[in-house]
């Protein structure tokens, strides 16, 4: 018997895309009077600062269909004195030009009036005030409580015309809560823009974080690396634990409150550059399950045109070009958003990699996204859709490093070219992408429960070389195609993250290090070109 689950018959749900499921349930629930939303628009207004040092960048107006998040300016039926409402969950993100642009984002538990950012070069001199935008995200209780009700208010301010290589102090506030007030000075944060000229720096990366003591521990350890920015390769907080991108998924938006509070200790200072994982396709928010992402994050808007993938963008810091991709677009394993960009993301990737390679100031190109191109775990292994659509472009443009999540472990390959080992890269060795191929790193041990491998762990201080590993990749139609591979060089079942030290000069290089949550080094290698 085809038993309905949360309103959609099982057999029908299996044949429907996420967008089709959304429309099906939206129509049914709207007729019952269960789902009612109001839609308004909000925009950041420019704030003249006299000196021309900063301006608030205009935000695109948000329009939405029924069933989308409610986006409002600071109006709500709940009235709370602004002095009693404390901002939390601050997180930074670079704009398209990290030398001159930064987004400051935060959350408030209730609607507030006239939110803003104060900014200055000294903590006692925050005279510059930039208006901010509120994005209200309403989640109704549906499917007999499978989707928990929540009302969330996310606030964003885009800063432009910043000075390169400069540290700024900032505070976030609203009517009744002034961060410049001596009582609130403990709420101030700092950020530093990218330098105008390339200089040595470190960045960090991981995926699949969630909310846990392990996640918190990793945050504190990576903060000790003093990173210029951090890359989060998707599956950010797991408010949707199933990760299938379906309307029938169990979902609790309040998990985001916990996550942003947990991450604030790092993200209030370090630009937290996220991309979209399968658990981040939150089907109740249109368009295409990305309304929640758009409400919570302000990321560079220089991705595929027309813009529709919040996790696809790029930026340049120093001598490193970084490209973020949304692998849901090409996933055979979890097809809820398969083909969502109609090929536009892949065409943009080809063009953007070519542009970065043509720049004389860019020595290295790093690409990060969620689903693994090359991994051997028993949980997800490798994504055939990524291999088919993007790996040929990585090789065409000689990408220097690819970082993934999805599999909750650490795994690192040898240098791969055309799906085979072009050069073995033992721990501590150096590789050259111009002749050796590309090293792929799975850094999915950020805090969520761990997976396992079909072969023994092998890592620094515990090397157990094995000639080959029997595993699989996910082919078209979700088929698990068996394969025996020789490229799995390092495997570590434990919580960890990646730290990449970038050096400039006549012989630039990237020193890639994997650190366990204990601080112990489990892998390291170098990337140098030519």
What is the CATH code for 55-190? 2.60.40.380
Give the per-residue pLDDT at 78. 58
Using CA atoms, how far apart are residues 528 and 364, in angstroms rounded to an integer?
A: 9
Q: What would the two tokens of residue 387 be?
A: 């291999």
Q: Is 133 in contact with 43 (CB distance < 8 Å)?
A: yes
Give the per-residue pLDDT at 17. 60
Give the per-residue pLDDT at 76. 44
Using CA atoms, how far apart are residues 154 and 232, in angstroms rounded to an integer?
A: 20
pTM over 0.85: yes
What percent of the chain is modeled with pLDDT above 90?
A: 79
Give the per-residue pLDDT at 140. 86
- Domain edges within the chain: 1-36, 55-190, 202-244+285-528
Give residues with Cβ within 8 angstroms of 164, minimum separation 6: 99, 100, 193, 194, 195, 196
pLDDT at 5 over 50: no
Residue 237 DSSP SS3: coil
Torsion over CA: 83, 86, 92, 96 (sign): negative
pLDDT confidence bin for 186, thresholds 50/70/90: confident
Find how far residue 504's CA is from the centre of its chain. Answer: 27
Q: What would the two tokens of residue 9 be?
A: 């018959």
Give the per-residue pLDDT at 410. 98
pLDDT confidence bin for 308, thresholds 50/70/90: confident
SS3 letters for 400-412? CEEEECCCCCEEE
Mean pLDDT of 140-167: 92
Average pLDDT, the chain: 88
Q: pLDDT tens across 103-133, in order?
A: 999 999 999 999 999 999 999 999 899 999 9
Q: pLDDT tens across 425-450, in order?
A: 999 999 999 999 999 999 999 999 99
Give the per-residue pLDDT at 18. 58
pLDDT at 70 over 50: no
Using CA atoms, how far apart are residues 284 and 253, in angstroms rounded to an integer?
A: 11
pLDDT at 55 over 90: no
Q: Is 295 in contact with 154 (CB distance < 8 Å)?
A: yes
Which of 18-32, 148-162, 280-294 has the least mean pLDDT? 18-32
Q: pLDDT tens across 253-303, in order?
A: 999 999 999 999 999 999 999 999 999 999 989 889 999 999 999 999 999
**Domain 202-244+285-528 belongs to what topology?**
Purple Acid Phosphatase; chain A, domain 2 (3.60.21)
């Amino acid at each position: 018997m085809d038993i309905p689950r949360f309103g959609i018959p099982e057999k029908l749900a299996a044949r429907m895309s996420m967008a089709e499921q959304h429309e099906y349930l939206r129509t049914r629930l709207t007729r019952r009077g269960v789902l009612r939303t109001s839609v308004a628009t909000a925009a950041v207004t420019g704030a003249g600062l006299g000196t021309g040092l900063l301006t608030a960048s205009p935000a695109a107006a948000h329009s939405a269909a029924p069933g989308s998040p409610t986006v409002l300016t600071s109006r709500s039926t709940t009235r709370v004195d602004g002095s009693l409402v404390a901002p939390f969950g601050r997180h930074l993100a670079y704009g398209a030009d990290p030398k001159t642009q930064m987004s400051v984002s935060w959350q408030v538990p209730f609607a507030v009036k006239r939110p803003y950012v104060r900014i200055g070069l000294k903590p006692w001199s925050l005279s510059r005030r930039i208006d901010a935008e509120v994005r209200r995200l309403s989640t109704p209780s549906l499917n007999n409580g499978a989707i928990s009700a929540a009302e969330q208010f996310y606030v964003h301010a885009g800063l432009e015309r910043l000075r390169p290589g400069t540290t700024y102090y900032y505070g976030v506030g609203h009517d009744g809560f002034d961060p410049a007030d001596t009582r609130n000075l403990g709420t101030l944060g700092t950020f530093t823009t990218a330098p105008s000229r390339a200089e040595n720096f470190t960045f960090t990366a991981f995926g699949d974080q969630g909310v846990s003591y392990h996640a918190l521990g990793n945050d504190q350890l990576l903060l000790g690396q003093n990173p210029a920015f951090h890359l989060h390769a998707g599956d950010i907080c797991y408010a949707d634990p199933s990760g299938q991108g379906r309307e029938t998924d169990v979902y609790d938006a309040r998990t985001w409150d916990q996550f942003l509070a947990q991450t604030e200790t790092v993200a209030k200072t370090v630009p937290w550059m996220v991309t979209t994982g399968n658990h981040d396709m939150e089907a109740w928010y249109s368009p295409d399950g990305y309304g929640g992402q758009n409400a919570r994050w302000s990321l560079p808007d220089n991705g595929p045109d027309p813009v529709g993938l919040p996790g696809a963008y790029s930026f340049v810091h120093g001598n490193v070009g970084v490209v973020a991709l949304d692998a849901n677009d090409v996933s055979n394993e979890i097809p809820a958003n398969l083909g969502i960009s109609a090929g536009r993301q892949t065409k943009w990737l080809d063009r953007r990699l070519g542009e970065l390679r043509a720049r004389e100031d860019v020595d290295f190109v790093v690409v990060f996204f969620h689903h693994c191109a090359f991994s051997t775990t028993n949980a997800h292994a490798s994504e055939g859709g990524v291999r088919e659509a993007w790996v040929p472009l990585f090789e065409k443009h000689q990408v220097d490093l690819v970082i993934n999540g999805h599999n909750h472990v650490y795994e690192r390959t040898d240098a791969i070219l055309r799906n085979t080992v072009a050069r073995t890269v033992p721990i501590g060795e150096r590789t050259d992408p111009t002749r050796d191929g590309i090293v792929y790193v799975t850094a999915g041990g950020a805090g969520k429960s761990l997976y396992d491998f079909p072969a023994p762990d092998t890592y620094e201080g515990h090397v157990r070389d094995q000639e080959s590993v029997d595993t699989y990749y996910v082919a078209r139609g979700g088929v698990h195609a068996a394969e025996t591979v020789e490229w799995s060089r390092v495997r570590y079942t434990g919580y960890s993250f990646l730290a990449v030290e970038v050096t400039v000069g006549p012989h630039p290089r990237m020193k890639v290090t994997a650190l366990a949550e204990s601080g112990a080094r489990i892998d390291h290698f170098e990337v140098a070109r030519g």
